[in-house]
A and B are shown apart, each in its own frame.
Chain A
Amino acid sequence: MGYRKFVMVCGGEGCGGKESLRIYDNINKELIAEGLKDEIQVVKTGCLGFCGEGPVVKIMPDEILYVNVKADDAGEIVRSLLDDGKEVTRLLYDRKKSTKNVKLPGMDFYQKQFRIILRNCGVINPEDINEYIARDGYMGLERALFELSPEGVIEELKTSGLRGRGGAGFPTWMKWEFTKKAQSETKYVICNADEGDPGAYMNRSTIEGDPHSIVEAMIIGGYTVGAHEGFIYIRAEYPIAIQRLELAIEQARNHGLLGKNILGSSFDFDIELRLGAGAYVCGEETALLASIEGNRGMPRPRPPFPATKGLWGKPTVINNTETWANIPVILTRGGAWYSSIGTETSKGTKVFALTGKVNNSGLVEVPLGTTLREVIFDIGGGIRGGKKFKAAQSGGPSGGVIPEEYLDIPIDFESLKKLGAIMGSGGLIIMDEDDCMIDIAKFYMQFAVDESCGKCSPCRIGGKQLLEALEMISIGKGEMEHLTNLNRICAAMQKASLCGLGQNTPNPVLSTMKYFENEYIEHIQEKKCHSGSCKSLLSYVIDPEKCIGCSLCAMKCPVSCISGEKRKPYTIDQLKCIKCGTCFEVCKFAAVIRE
C-alpha cells in the first residue's frame, strides 16, 4: 500500500479535454507495461494552471512540471520515473519564462503566484492566535518595539517601496511620516476595510483568513506615528470577517498584545471596530472619517489631508486592508527583501479577485509586473466556454477596461493608469465576446449614480447625464452628438468633482469609448449591438432555408410567440418576442438568426 509517485494529468477546461484523456490512458498503459502500477498512481486532476501551455502533467512529490504534453510522450514520461531524479528535459516548463518581467527572491519556483498578503490564508486556522504566532506572527511588532525606533520603521517602509493598495498607490512611508511629524497629543490609525467594488472581495478574504495580520500591522502603525487608538472600518455585510476580527482583537488583548504596556514595553494601543452601512462613498477616506465620527458619510475637500487633520481633526493614518497586511512581513523580512519583488516603481505583490467569464475565478496574488495575460490565461485558465476574450475591467467603478492588445503590459501602478484603467483595490472582471461595452459602461454608471453622495454637482448631475446618454445609445436612439457630450461631461467631472469617486466615475465611459469606439458607432449609426446585450437593438428571425420545422423553438419559447406547421419553416412574432434568446440557443440547425 502507498504509492512512490503520482502522475497528475490536468483535465482542466483549458487543457484540451480529449488529449488529456489520451495522455491519462497512455500513461496508465505504460505504467502497466513497465510493471509500475503498484508504485505509481496516475490521476486525472482539475486545472493545474499554466493553461496557455496545456496539456500539463505534474509529477509529485518531485514537483516536476511538464507542459505541451502529447499522448505520445507518455512512454518517455513513465520511463523517466524508473530512476529518481530523472526528467524529460524537452517537456520541462521553462522557468525563466515565469520570471521574465518579475524579479523574485529565489529563482527555483515555477508558480505564477507569490503570496505575501495571503501568506496565512488557507494555511492557518484564523481563529487560533497560536498558529499565527507559530508562523512568525507578531515578530514584526517585536522588531518595531524593541529593535527599531519609529524612524527605523519608516526607514524600513521606505526601503521596501510599499505603495498604498487602496488604488492610488501613494507611498506608505510618506503617509506615515506626515502623521508622525504632525504635532498632536492624540493621533489615530485606521484600517479601511470598506471594500465595495462590484466583484471585489480581496479584503474580505484577507481578514477572514488572517485577521491577526491586520491587528499586528495596526499596532506597528500606532507605535510608529504615535497613536494609541486604532479603528477598523469594515462593512456590516462581512459578518464572518467581523466575527474573526473581534475574536482576534480579544485574543490579542488577553495576551498583552493590545492594551497597556504591550509586550512589556511602554507603548499602549487598542483597536475598535466600526461597521459601515454599505455606502460605497465611505471607502473614500474623508467620507470614511465622517462616518466614524457619526456624521453622514460625505467627502470633504483635501487638503488638509487626514495625515495632518483626520479623525476628529487629529492626525490620522488611513491605509487599505491590503496595505496593512504587508506591514508585518516587511518588518520581519526587511524592506530590502520586499523591494526585491516587483518592478522598478511598483514593489511587492497584488491580490486580485478574478471574476467574470474566466474559467478559474478566485483570489490571485501575483508579483507586480506580472502581465494580465498570465493572470487571465495561465492562472485564470482562460475564457469560459472557449469564447473570445474581449476586455478586462480593472479597478471597479473608478477603473476602466483593458482590451486584448494591452494584455502583455506588466501590471503596475503606472502602466494601468496610462491605459485609462487603474490598479484600484484589485477587482478584475473578465469579459468575453458576448459582453457589450455600452452595457458595461451603463452598469458602472448606474452604480455611480446610485452611490454618488450628492454633495458636489459634477458627480451628482454629471453621472446622471452620462447614464441617460448611454441609455439612449443602448436603445437605438443615440446620435453622434451624444459622443461629444459624453466626452465633455466626463472632462468636467474629472476636473470639478470633489472626491476621487466623482473624479474617476467617467473612467469606465472614457476607456470603453477609447478602445471600443466602433461599438459606440455601430450602436448609433447601424442601431446594432453585435454582442447581443442591448435587447432593444436585437431581433431574432428564423431563416426559412435552414428551418426544418422541428418545432423545438416553439416548444421552448417562454412567451409562445413562435408558430408554424410541422416540417415547414416557423416564424417569430416580433411584437410578442421578448428577445430572451432561448430559440437561438436551442435550435440545432442554426436556423435562428440574431440581428
Chain B
Amino acid sequence: MEKFNLKTLQAFRLKEKKKMSDKNSGPVTTILVGMGTCGKAAGAGETLKAFNEQVAKLGLKDIEVKQTGCMGSCYVEPTVEVRTPGMPAILYGRVTPVVAGKIMERHVIQKQLLNDYVYDKPAIDILN
C-alpha cells in the first residue's frame, strides 16, 4: 500500500473527491445501510444482504450497496439512505428485507417514493 507524503496525499484526496462527486452526479445509485450497533441490533445485516441479493437478482449495474455508521434515527432502525439520479436523497427507516425489496422495485427502478417509510435527513452536510 502506498505510503503518503504531503503531496501524494493531497493528490490522492483530489482524485477521491472527484470520484465521489462524479458518483453523486453520475448514473450510479448508492444505497447506504446504517451499520452501527443500533442498526445491526435491529437487523441491518439482513437488510444489507437483501439489497445485495436484489441487485444480483435484478442484474442491475451502476448501483453500489455499502455500509455506513449510525445516521441518528435509532428509533426506526434499520435505516437506509438511497441516492439515485433524478431523485432527492431519501432516508428510509424500518427497512426490513421485505421493505428493501420494495425500495429496489419502486424507488430505484420505478423512481417513486414509498409511503410510510420515509424519514427526515436530520442535518445539512457541513462539507457541502
Contact of A362 among B16, B69, B75, B114 (CB under 8 A): B75
* Chain B neighbourhood of A119, CB < 8 A: 125-127
Interface-forming stretch among B2-10, B50-58, B97-105?
Answer: B2-10
Please state if A133 and B16 are interface contacts (CB–CB under 8 Å): yes
If A60-B88, A123-B125 touch, whether A43 touches B114 (CB-CB below 8 Å) is yes
Please state if B88 and A121 are interface contacts (CB–CB under 8 Å): no
Complex interface bits, B52-89 against A, C-beta within 8 A gives 1, otherwise 0: 00000000000000111111111110010100001110
If A142-B6, A254-B1 touch, whether A209 touches B70 (CB-CB below 8 Å) is yes
Please state if A255 and B4 are interface contacts (CB–CB under 8 Å): yes
Q: How many residues of B contact A (CB 8 A)?
A: 55
* Chain A neighbourhood of B67, CB < 8 A: 125-127
Query: Complex: how many Å from CA A254 to CA B2?
Result: 7
- Asked if A201 is an interface residue, CB under 8 A from chain B, the answer is yes
Shortest CB-to-CB span from A153 to chain B, Å, is: 17
Contact of A136 among B12, B74, B127 (CB under 8 A): B127
- Asked if A363 is an interface residue, CB under 8 A from chain B, the answer is yes
Query: Complex: how many Å from CA A483 to CA B72?
Result: 41
| Least CB separation from B119: chain A residue | A46
Please state if B72 and A364 are interface contacts (CB–CB under 8 Å): yes
If A134-B17, A263-B4 touch, whether A125 touches B66 (CB-CB below 8 Å) is yes
Complex interface bits, A112-124 against B, C-beta within 8 A gives 1, otherwise 0: 0111101111111
Query: Complex: how many Å from CA A87 to CA B16?
Result: 38
Please state if A133 and B13 are interface contacts (CB–CB under 8 Å): yes
- Asked if A11 is an interface residue, CB under 8 A from chain B, the answer is yes
- Asked if B32 is an interface residue, CB under 8 A from chain A, the answer is yes
- Asked if A139 is an interface residue, CB under 8 A from chain B, the answer is yes
If A1-B110, A118-B72, A208-B69 touch, whether A46 touches B93 (CB-CB below 8 Å) is yes
* Chain A neighbourhood of B6, CB < 8 A: 142, 145-146, 263-265
* Chain A neighbourhood of B2, CB < 8 A: 255
If A363-B74, A379-B122 touch, whether A41 touches B69 (CB-CB below 8 Å) is no
- Asked if B113 is an interface residue, CB under 8 A from chain A, the answer is yes
Please state if B12 and A205 are interface contacts (CB–CB under 8 Å): no
Please state if A130 and B69 are interface contacts (CB–CB under 8 Å): no
- Asked if B25 is an interface residue, CB under 8 A from chain A, the answer is no
Query: Complex: how many Å from CA A495 to CA B58?
Result: 68
If A114-B126, A116-B126, A255-B2 touch, whether A240 touches B37 (CB-CB below 8 Å) is yes
* Chain A neighbourhood of B19, CB < 8 A: 134
Q: How many residues of A contact B (CB 8 A)?
A: 70
Complex interface bits, A80-110 against B, C-beta within 8 A gives 1, otherwise 0: 0000000000000000000000000000010
* Chain A neighbourhood of B113, CB < 8 A: 6, 8, 41, 43
* Chain A neighbourhood of B126, CB < 8 A: 114-116, 119, 329
- Asked if B38 is an interface residue, CB under 8 A from chain A, the answer is yes
* Chain A neighbourhood of B28, CB < 8 A: none
Please state if B71 and A263 are interface contacts (CB–CB under 8 Å): no
| Least CB separation from A135: chain B residue | B127
Contact of B88 among A1, A61, A255, A365 (CB under 8 A): A61
Please state if A111 and B123 are interface contacts (CB–CB under 8 Å): yes
If A46-B93, A49-B122, A123-B125 touch, whether A130 touches B16 (CB-CB below 8 Å) is yes
Please state if B88 and A263 are interface contacts (CB–CB under 8 Å): no
- Asked if A45 is an interface residue, CB under 8 A from chain B, the answer is yes
Residue among B13, B69, B115, B127 with max Cβ neighbours from chain A (10 Å): B69
Shortest CB-to-CB span from B14 to chain A, Å, is: 9
Please state if A256 and B4 are interface contacts (CB–CB under 8 Å): yes
- Asked if A360 is an interface residue, CB under 8 A from chain B, the answer is yes
Shortest CB-to-CB span from A356 to chain B, Å, is: 11
Query: Complex: how many Å from CA A238 to CA B70?
Result: 14
Query: Complex: how many Å from CA A122 to CA B75?
Result: 15
Please state if B72 and A362 are interface contacts (CB–CB under 8 Å): yes
| Least CB separation from B3: chain A residue | A256
Query: Complex: how many Å from CA A60 to CA B111?
Result: 14
Please state if B9 and A263 are interface contacts (CB–CB under 8 Å): yes
Shortest CB-to-CB span from B27 to chain A, Å, is: 14
Query: Complex: how many Å from CA A365 to CA B117?
Result: 23
Query: Complex: how many Å from CA A11 to CA B12?
Result: 44
- Asked if A359 is an interface residue, CB under 8 A from chain B, the answer is yes
| Least CB separation from A121: chain B residue | B69
- Asked if A415 is an interface residue, CB under 8 A from chain B, the answer is no
* Chain A neighbourhood of B111, CB < 8 A: 1-3
Please state if A208 and B123 are interface contacts (CB–CB under 8 Å): no
Please state if B68 and A122 are interface contacts (CB–CB under 8 Å): yes
Please state if A6 and B88 are interface contacts (CB–CB under 8 Å): yes
If A121-B71, A131-B16, A363-B70 touch, whether A43 touches B118 (CB-CB below 8 Å) is yes
Contact of B81 among A115, A122, A379 (CB under 8 A): A122
- Asked if A347 is an interface residue, CB under 8 A from chain B, the answer is no
Shortest CB-to-CB span from B32 to chain A, Å, is: 7
Residue among A47, A49, A136, A205 with max Cβ neighbours from chain B (10 Å): A205
- Asked if A158 is an interface residue, CB under 8 A from chain B, the answer is no
* Chain B neighbourhood of A111, CB < 8 A: 122-124
- Asked if A330 is an interface residue, CB under 8 A from chain B, the answer is no
Contact of B115 among A43, A120, A254 (CB under 8 A): A43
Please state if A205 and B69 are interface contacts (CB–CB under 8 Å): yes
Please state if A255 and B119 are interface contacts (CB–CB under 8 Å): no
- State which residues 137-177 of A face B: CB under 8 Å: 137-139, 142, 145-146
- Asked if A257 is an interface residue, CB under 8 A from chain B, the answer is yes
* Chain B neighbourhood of A131, CB < 8 A: 16, 20
Query: Complex: how many Å from CA A3 to CA B113?
Result: 10
A residues near B (Cβ < 8 Å) are 1-3, 6, 8, 11, 41, 43-49, 58, 60-61, 109, 111, 113-116, 118-127, 130-131, 133-139, 142, 145-146, 201, 204-205, 208-210, 238, 240-241, 254-257, 263-265, 329, 359-365, 379
Which 7 pairs across A and B sit closest by C-beta, in order of nearness? Answer: A209-B69, A122-B71, A256-B3, A264-B5, A134-B16, A113-B123, A45-B118
12 more CB-based (< 8 A) A-B contacts, given A49-B122, A122-B32: A8-B118, A113-B72, A122-B71, A122-B81, A124-B69, A125-B66, A131-B16, A133-B16, A145-B6, A205-B38, A209-B68, A263-B6
